[in-house]
Amino acid sequence: MKKKNKQGNVLAFGVNPKRFRANQLKFYVYLLPVAAVMLLPIIYNLITAFKPLDELFAYPPRFYVKHPTLDNFLRLFEISSGTAIPASRYLFNTVLTTILTMLGNIWIAVSVGFVLSKKRFRGKNALLQINNAALMFVSAAVTIPTYFVIVYTGLRDNFLANILPGLVAPTGVFLTKQFIDQLPDALIEAAVIDGASDYRIIRKIIFPLVRPALSTVMILSFQTSWANVTASNLYIDNETYKTFAYYISTLATGGTVSTQGVAAAGSLIMFLPNLIIFIILQSGVMNSMVHSGIK
């Protein structure tokens, strides 16, 4: 928003001005304490991972660490070195599962969003309503149906059981569809006249123009897949196919007192990638939230 002064000069001001102004101090008075409170759990998680065992169970508990150590991280991998499956295998499974699930979610969200937004066919509104209705169901509500699908399709105790359930993401379809709705139909029609196929339109036109929505899809897909333990608990018996989140959950719930520091180190490893990817993609997420409701 801009406003002119008496001399006719343009004065820039608004919700998010580019330069710091004194009138912004009142916002910092409220935001800095809130930010400090929100940062405390992150800082505590970071500090706890580097605490030796005696400080981890010190009474009264201390927020800080006197003698930071890397022993928890070293023991995290040493504990599993004596078993049949090393911790590095669990971590590899998680990384591979997360990458494949993210790529699959992005392609499905853009493709389905494009079809529901720009194509005309019978049953389109019904499919859209079904996708919107699916937004109401939490993952726990569809656990039993998903289990039957996995069993009847022969994917029980298969590595694909880590990936395929995560590809069903109605939120990603909804966000990308709302974003594609804002693209002018003339742009798509011009590409069709030039002889572009639907695949080429999606790859060359839709993908570059819906990047903010894809940032949100990537974050949601990453968080769901990176911390997923459902497949390892319910669909997979072979330890070779289980994920790092499952391995950390066994340390946190079934481990001894001596493994609590190791569990804290594992929790930090699980948390940091989520924080990093959100920091990198946060601007796109904010844009997608703003534009997803605009028609």
Contact present, 240 and 89 (Cβ < 8 Å)? yes
**pLDDT given at position 101:** 92
Domain contains 278: yes
Strands 10-12 and 2-4: what pairing?
A: antiparallel
The answer to the question of residue 48 being in a domain is no
Q: What is the pLDDT of residue 103?
A: 92
| CB of 13 closer than 8 Å to CB of 231 | no
CA distance 72 to 80: 13
- Say what percent of the chain tops pLDDT 90: 6
pLDDT, residue 8, reads 46
Please give the tally of structural domains in the chain: 1
64 in a structural domain: no
Concatenated DSSP letters of 171-187: HHHHHHHHHHHTS-HHH
pLDDT digits (tens, 9 = 90+) for 157-182: 889 988 988 887 888 888 888 888 88
**pLDDT at site 16:** 55
Residue type, 71: D
Mean pLDDT in consecutive groups of 10 residues from the start of the chain, 295 residues: 46 55 76 84 83 76 79 76 74 92 91 89 88 83 86 89 86 87 87 87 88 85 88 87 86 64 82 84 62 49
Q: Is residue 7 part of a domain?
A: no
Inside any domain, residue 10: no
Tell me, what CATH number does 87's domain have? Answer: 1.10.3720.10
Is residue 49 one of the residues assigned to a domain? Answer: no
Residue written as tokens 């009142």?
26
On whether residue 5 sits in a domain, the answer given is: no
d(CA 128, CA 75): 50
pTM, two decimal places: 0.78
Question: Per-residue pLDDT tens for 104-140?
Answer: 999 999 999 999 988 888 888 898 888 888 888 877 7
Residue 20 within a domain: no
Q: 202: Cβ–Cβ under 8 A, 6 or more apart, which residues? A: 110, 111, 114
The residue range of the domain holding 92 is 76-291
